[in-house]
A and B are shown apart, each in its own frame.
Chain A
Amino acid sequence: MCLSIPSQVVAVDIERQSVTVDTLGVRRDVSSHLMNEPLEIGDYVLIHIGFVMNKIDKEDAQQSIDLYQEIVTKLENEAIH
Chain B
Amino acid sequence: MLELKHLYQGFRDPQTIANLARDIQLTAKLVKQQINIMEVCGGHTHTIMKYGLLDLLPDNIEFIHGPGCPVCIMPKERIDQAAALASQENVILVTLGDMIRVPGSKGSLASYRAKGCDIRPIYDPLDTLKIARDNPDKTVVFFAIGFETSTPMTAILLQLAEHERLENLLFHINHVLVPPAIDAVMHDPKARVNAFIGPAHVSVISGAKIYRSTVENYGTPVVVAGFEPVDVMDSILRIVRQKAAGKAELDIQYSRAVSEDGNLTAQAKVNQFFNVRPQFRWRGLGPIPNSALQLKPEYAHRDAELRFKDRLPVKEIDDHKACQCGDILRGLAKPKDCKVFGRGCNPETPLGSCMVSSEGACNAYYRYQGIDIKEPHHG
Which residues of A pack against B, CB within 8 Å?
Answer: 1-4, 6-8, 22, 24, 30-31, 33-36, 44, 46, 48-51, 53-54, 56-58, 60-62, 64-65, 68-69, 71-72, 75
Category for how many chain B residues contact A: 35 or more
List, in ascending order, chain B residues with CB within 8 A of A75's CB.
19
A-B contact pairs, 23 of them (CB 8 A): A1-B69, A1-B98, A2-B42, A2-B68, A2-B201, A8-B4, A33-B156, A34-B156, A34-B265, A35-B265, A36-B263, A44-B7, A48-B149, A48-B150, A49-B150, A54-B263, A56-B7, A57-B256, A61-B2, A62-B2, A68-B19, A69-B13, A72-B16
A61 touching B7 in the complex, CB below 8 Å, given contacts A1-B96, A46-B201: yes
> Is B123's CB under 8 angstroms from A49's CB?
yes
Known: A48-B201, A72-B13. 7 other contacts (CB 8 A): A3-B46, A50-B123, A56-B7, A58-B256, A61-B2, A64-B256, A65-B6
> Is A71's CB under 8 angstroms from B16's CB?
yes
Nearest CB in chain B: distance from A50 CB, A: 3
Within 8 Å by CB of B16, from A2, A48, A68, lies A68
List, in ascending order, chain B residues with CB within 8 A of A68's CB.
10, 13, 16, 19, 230
List, in ascending order, chain A residues with CB within 8 A of B146's CB.
1
> Is B150's CB under 8 angstroms from A1's CB?
yes
Pick the 9 closest A-B CB pairs, nearest first. Answer: A50-B124, A65-B10, A2-B43, A36-B265, A61-B256, A6-B7, A60-B256, A68-B16, A33-B156
Instruction: List B residues 12-28 near A (Cβ within 8 Å).
Output: 13, 15-16, 19
List, in ascending order, chain A residues with CB within 8 A of B6's CB.
61-62, 65
Decide if the interface of chain A is mainly helix, strand, loop or mixed: mixed
> Is B153's CB under 8 angstroms from A49's CB?
yes
In the complex, A68→B257 CA distance in Å? 17
In the complex, A68→B153 CA distance in Å? 35
In the complex, A40→B356 CA distance in Å? 38
> Is B13's CB under 8 angstroms from A53's CB?
no
